[in-house]
Amino acid sequence: MQYFLVDEWVEDTLSRICTDTAELLASGDRGLECAAELRGLLETPTRDNIPWIMKTSRAYLLVAVGRLQEATDQPTKLLICHELCHALQLYPDYNSEKNEDEVMSFTASELLTELELPTSQEALSALRQQDCLANHLVQVTPSDGEKCARVPEAVHFDLDPFIRGVNRTGMHLVIRVANVTLDNCVVQGKASFCEQTSRLSFFPAAEFERKSRYRVTVREREILSSLGGTLPDRPPFTIHFSTPA
């Protein structure tokens, strides 16, 4: 489970298998041709060849991790794992003598046990420490360094589903905008986060000034991750954009 969580085992394991097999086959004349083909596979990136179902399963799992961490009792945790089993279509084999719901409950219990193992928790801890806003950024509007053709109405950060929300008790701390041209004058406005679209936005109280360069900063420790808690405390994520004359 820990290798699955950190998304390393597929590439590393395939590389080791190919290397070992190639070395074994290369020891005999008849294996030279096959060994050469296997060595060729090592030069081909495997990251894009991971089966879709593996990527999807890992995505569902990581989305559920934060809910599991926040759950305060065992029945709630088992319910989350039960829902995850259905979402991933983890339907175990069972015979007519066993009740399907009982078997599914057993599978959910086994999944929870796997996730609570020290090795799995260590893998999740490593993922949390490596996590950052840039990993979840789908699009920024305006983009970093953009010289806008027209004055933008707002600044939008479109994030992936692994961002669960923001610290709503301090929305004014989450995202800040400053007019660099006007001696870093702070821009007054309203920040918002849409959970349905995972979009973090800043709407200025007054229109952005023309012929100005702006700096936008996002405090990562105010962003809630699906891995549980907030993103690690790092220097603010920063972009710049300029408005037209």
The DSSP code sequence of 22-73 is: HHHHTTSGGGHHHHHHHHHHHTS--GGGS-HHHHHHHHHHHHHHHHHHH--S
Is residue 12 scored above 60 in pLDDT? no
Is residue 230 scored above 70 in pLDDT? yes
Overall pTM > 0.85:
no
Give the least confident one: 69-78, 98-107, 162-171, 186-195. 98-107
Q: What are phi and psi of 193, to 5 degrees?
A: -135, 125
CATH 2.60.40.1220 segments of the chain = 133-242
Q: What is the CATH number of domain 133-242?
A: 2.60.40.1220
Give the least confident one: 40-54, 61-75, 184-198. 40-54
Tell me the per-residue pLDDT of 151-210, one tens digit each, with 9 for 90 and over: 999 999 999 989 988 988 778 889 999 999 999 999 999 999 998 899 999 999 999 999
Could you tell me where the beta strands, DSSP code E, fall in 117-212?
A: 137-141, 146-147, 155-159, 163-166, 175-179, 185-186, 189-194, 199-204
pLDDT > 70: what percent of the chain?
75
Confidence (pLDDT) at 30: 47
Mean pLDDT of the chain: 82
- Residue with more model confidence, 42 or 211: 211
